[in-house]
Amino acid sequence: MSSSHINAPIQARMYANTQHKVIWVIVVVLSAGLLAPPLFFIAAKKRVVSMAVPVVYAAIIYGSAVLGSVLGNPKNWMGGVLAISMIIAAVHAANLDTDWKPGR
């Protein structure tokens, strides 16, 4: 049996330094999660995450905003969905480089 890490592609580092990481997390929070899909698209292009991650975030965040405007948002569910997805995206953005090791 061989390890899946032996032949894994080399991943680029997502953030250059801690300040860069803090800025991206703050941007995701201040934009109410609307800038999470572009962040994860950049991460996918750097092969830090799979390309499915920005697609899922875009479908949830932008889809709920569009559905809320089309359906009229009668029970105010759109704000809750955006708040929960913003929190999840901010935590996910903060954890992107936690397992990165130099020379890998």
Report if residue 53 sits inside a domain.
Answer: yes
pLDDT in tens, the chain (104 residues): 455 555 555 566 778 788 888 998 999 899 888 899 999 998 888 888 889 999 999 999 999 888 888 888 778 888 888 889 999 999 988 888 766 555 55
What is the total count of domains within the chain?
A: 1
Distance CA 57, CA 85 (A): 8
Q: Which domain holds residue 37?
A: 18-94
Query: What 8-state DSSP symbol labels residue 38?
Result: H
Please state whether 33 falls in left (phi above 0), alpha (psi between -120 and 50) or beta. left
